[in-house]
């Protein structure tokens, strides 16, 4: 199914205005790594969105029949960012078949982020999901359609995927699946779907994420470059099988409230992701020495306290310490007393499962 439905007669007039959305980063529990043309994932992935780690984007638009598309400006946190501006412009040019008004639009985009950009905390996911929501809102205003229905979010998920694959998972609250899976019949490679509440034990809606900023610098190898290396990876097919198997086990853990199994799968996925990077050709390492030290402390703490907490990592050195609300104080003390010293300038983010994007 393609969620992209348009009325080709809706873009004949002039229009101007502003649309603004805030969209969250998401943290993958089952990792997406490797893709086919058209941003189609090699394997399904499962994540949840965060509450504090967000990007806010506003688009000022002016549409006239005599205009040709032009991005007149792009700012990130009050500064010009030429590298990301080029990526945004390429994205907007490539999706004009999905938004016909773009062919006659001049856009100025401003954005601000609450967390480090390009450090492995899914900044692109937050950015492209917010951008897609703004575009869908401009279209909805043109068409006079509802921005609070299933089709609106589904198209935003579909479009955001074309800019950054994991962005399609930032459109919903709760647990979100992207990629076709035999275990979730409504799943799709083209957009993400939210898991129904009956598939997720209530305990997992209290998840928290203490993000340890081990290094806030730009990654030496981008996620796009890493995905490309999976095409010739010797473990590609085995990885696909592993991801489907881990998804099945994680879905069982979520529905049954099995925190121990949940932690086992989450950590296995994190280490598998980084082992794929290290065994690529060329291989590369994104973890830092302090990443390893912190993981060792986390594991020793879990053994000594029997508290169900676990770590995961995106494509970067920073650790997401996943835990439950009932253990928040114990985890805060662990961070303050033992883990903070491994963080750059002691920086960490006390985050939790969020409620998804919001318009402002």
- The pLDDT tens digits for 120-149 are 566 889 999 999 999 999 999 988 887 878
Residue 174 has a pLDDT of 96
Q: How many C-beta atoms lie closer than 10 Å to residue 297's C-beta?
A: 16
Average pLDDT (77-102) is: 90
Binned at pLDDT 50, 70 and 90, residue 1 comes out as very low
Report pTM.
Answer: 0.92
Structure tokens at 237: 């097919």
Cβ atoms of 353 and 52 closer than 8 Å:
no
Beta strand pairing status for 79-80 and 70-76? antiparallel
How would you classify the pairing of strands 70-76 and 105-113? parallel
Q: What is the mean pLDDT of residues 68-89?
A: 88
| Domains contained in the chain, CATH given | 15-198 (3.30.230.10), 208-352 (3.30.70.890)
Q: Find the largest Cα–Cα distance for the chain.
A: 69
Record the tokens describing residue 304, joined without a space.
Answer: 């000594």
Q: What are the start-end ranges of the E strands in 174-318? A: 175-178, 192-194, 207-212, 310-313
Assess whether pLDDT exceeds 80 at residue 274.
yes
């Amino acid at each position: 199914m393609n969620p992209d439905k348009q009325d080709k007669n809706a873009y004949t007039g002039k229009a101007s205005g502003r649309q603004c959305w805030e969209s969250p980063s998401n943290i993958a529990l089952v990792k997406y790594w490797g893709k086919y043309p058209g941003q189609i994932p090699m394997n399904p992935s499962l994540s949840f969105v965060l509450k504090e780690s967000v990007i806010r984007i506003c688009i000022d638009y002016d549409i006239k029949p005599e205009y040709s598309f032009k991005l007149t400006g792009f700012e990130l946190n009050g500064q010009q960012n030429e590298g990301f501006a080029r990526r945004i412009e390429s994205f907007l040019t490539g999706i004009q078949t999905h938004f016909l008004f773009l062919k006659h639009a001049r856009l100025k985009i401003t954005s601000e982020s609450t967390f480090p950009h390009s450090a492995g905390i899914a900044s692109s996911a937050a950015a492209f999901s917010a951008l897609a929501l703004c575009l869908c809102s401009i279209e909805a205003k043109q068409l006079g359609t509802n921005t609070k229905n299933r089709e609106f979010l589904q198209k935003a998920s579909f479009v955001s995927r074309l800019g950054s694959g994991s962005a399609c998972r930032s459109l919903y609250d709760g647990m979100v699946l992207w990629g076709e899976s035999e275990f979730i019949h409504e799943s799709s490679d083209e957009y993400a779907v939210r898991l129904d509440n009956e598939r997720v034990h209530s305990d997992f809606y209290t998840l928290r994420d203490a993000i340890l900023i081990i290094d806030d610098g730009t990654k030496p190898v981008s996620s796009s470059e890493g995905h490309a290396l999976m095409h010739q990876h010797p473990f590609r097919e085995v990885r696909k099988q592993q991801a489907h198997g881990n998804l099945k086990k994680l879905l069982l853990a979520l529905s049954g409230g099995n925190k121990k199994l949940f932690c086992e799968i989450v950590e296995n996925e994190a280490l598998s992701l980084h082992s794929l990077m290290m065994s690529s050709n060329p291989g590369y390492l994104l973890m830092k020495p302090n990443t390893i030290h912190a993981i060792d402390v986390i594991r020793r703490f879990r053994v000594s306290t029997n508290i169900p907490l676990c770590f995961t990592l995106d494509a970067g050195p920073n650790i997401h310490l996943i835990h439950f609300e009932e253990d928040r104080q114990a985890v805060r003390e662990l961070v303050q007393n033992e883990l903070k010293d491994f963080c750059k300038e002691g920086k960490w983010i006390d985050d939790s499962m969020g409620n998804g994007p919001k318009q402002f």
